[in-house]
Chains A and B, each alone.
Chain A
């Protein structure tokens, strides 16, 4: 009986030791496999705190989710080497001075590819640093001067409002009988420039613009006083130019509660949960530009990305439908031309001819566009999905493409 117990203990100990040894070897093997990989640092300089934090946070979280996913599956093979992706982030707090400091930091770390900044003045401010230090950056800002020659280091990461706005107004004019339009924007450079180009596009389409100077402070919490005079003008369409996701539900709710019955639209990406929580059914019918993850065009890879993002951060952000693309473009372009890993001039050469399957949207390819708007390929091609909000979800109105 006693020797039987001892034998059993010995057997159990041996099994335990064996299991531990096996796990150690396996883990060590796995670790060494990953450790053998080189490191490819990709930067992010943008806003991840303050009222506009949602814009940059969705960038960072998209990049981190995708990087973790790629690293988990063995890294990325570029040329003869395999790389683990490391995301280096810098919060510029929407301050151009800090954006410059952030870009300097990226240069010091030897980073050549940076996603961001998220706003016009930040994107313009970092241009000299990016050009002098050999950095290609992917802003979410719309000034054409950043992307048109002689500028060549900035690549627009999304569809600009002067590309989506005319398409939306045309659709609403032809399908919803819109004739009178009112614009309202936050008193900041991005929304104001978006408003101006929106007004120009509306006028070009023959629409009557009944309000084009109304603005609000970006930290406004109650929009009733701002919207009271506009609602009295009874426009068919109220355009919320460059509206931040935090302000959209408040504006919609205030307009509807003041009795506004017309259409409301925006050319910036919004978040369905935020709209639902902040405006509920009052947000039904709100039209905005989304990304490539509406169920109609979404691929299984996009489904998995959303799942991984939600698992990692607890809640998905619909803006990431667009923000997921920048890192993908960087990696795929480097794969297409490994020499570009530390030479942005090689990257630029590749952009002209680059093409790869789009993992996130059906029947779509990754390619650089922008010839019509900028005279050179300095924009990521992402599906321009115009959506209508209904009962907590975005429903696709139409899908377009930028050339």
Chain B
């Protein structure tokens, strides 16, 4: 059972980090970013190229992934999402734009990086073995880094000027504007930050799970699941959603294995019941 819990916690940390960027963008701009998974994939491929191909240090590769995706996120916000939000009052316009962006990035990634699964050398070798738990050291490192990043992100949102401005925007866009918050500037920073988070997580996890051009869609779906559980637009909710999903997956795959692949069936059924009782998820909106 200890192994199952360790697996769940590790998965949860991964998932929480994936969901953070998605929920941030939703909170700030009310945009469901369907391209979040593709941004994750792109981040993975940047790390693969820098660390796996160019043999530069892993940290440098992670920074490259973060910076690349931040720039892409900023450009997407400035030249695509901002004009659409300005021109259209209908929320589905940004959803359609996000979906189109996802398809576009899918095609670009396939073209640039090919169809094969890619992986990089382990960042640290060896396996921690005790009587009850087996965990490879690289997973421990990635899990700890993920938790540190989540903590750093929360501190940034809580105490920094841009963080406070973004929280104000998320709570009430008009009121924030009246209080002097530069909406366009912080929307751009928020979108870039969300995209950067996706890129850094993609880069971080490429050392464990590798990356291939087709996984963007499934990653987005999982991120949406976590956001639904925790509550859209709430940082704490995304983290809670990630850990809950990770734990449910780990326990389900062990307890229900005799019944075939029913773990996700059960998770989806529980989610439907849960959402019918609490449509805003565990923590709801706005920022808590």
Contact = CB atoms under 8 A, between A and B. Distances in A.
What's the dominant secondary structure at chain B's contact region? Answer: helix
A277 B210 contact: yes
B38 to A, nearest CB: 12
Given A54-B116, A225-B4, A280 B121 contact: yes
A152 B114 CA distance: 35
B151 to A, nearest CB: 22
Interface in A44-91: 48-54, 57
Interface size class of B (residues with CB under 8 A): 35 or more
B4 A228 contact: yes
Interface string A251-262: 000000111000
B115 A213 contact: no
Given A225-B254, A271-B116, A246 B136 contact: no
Interface in A294-338: 314-315, 317
Given A49-B110, A224-B7, A259-B134, A217 B264 contact: yes
B137 to A, nearest CB: 10
A53 B7 contact: no
A273 interface: yes
Nearest to A51: B214
B218 A219 contact: yes
B148 interface: no
Contact of B214 (A50, A257, A317): A50
A31 interface: no
Contacts of B117: 54, 245-247, 249-250, 274, 277-278
Of B127, B212, B218, chain A has the most CB atoms within 10 Å of the CB of: B212
Contacts of A245: 116-117
B214 A225 contact: no
Nearest to B205: A221
B260 interface: yes
A317 B7 contact: no
Contacts of B129: 259
Interface residues of A, number: 40
Interface in A278-299: 278-280
B52 interface: yes
B212 A213 contact: no
Contacts of A274: 116-119
B18 to A, nearest CB: 10
Of A52, A57, A215, A277, chain B has the most CB atoms within 10 Å of the CB of: A277
Of B52, B122, B210, B250, chain A has the most CB atoms within 10 Å of the CB of: B210
Of A246, A259, A274, chain B has the most CB atoms within 10 Å of the CB of: A246
A279 B120 CA distance: 9
Interface string A178-192: 000000000100000
Interface string A138-154: 00000000000000000
A24 B261 CA distance: 65
B250 A225 contact: yes
The 7 closest A-B pairs by CB, nearest first: A219-B218, A246-B117, A278-B119, A53-B115, A215-B261, A51-B214, A187-B261
27 contacts: A48-B115, A51-B215, A53-B110, A54-B115, A187-B260, A213-B260, A217-B218, A221-B215, A221-B219, A222-B208, A224-B10, A224-B139, A228-B7, A228-B254, A229-B254, A246-B116, A247-B117, A249-B119, A250-B117, A250-B210, A259-B129, A274-B117, A274-B119, A277-B117, A278-B119, A280-B121, A317-B116
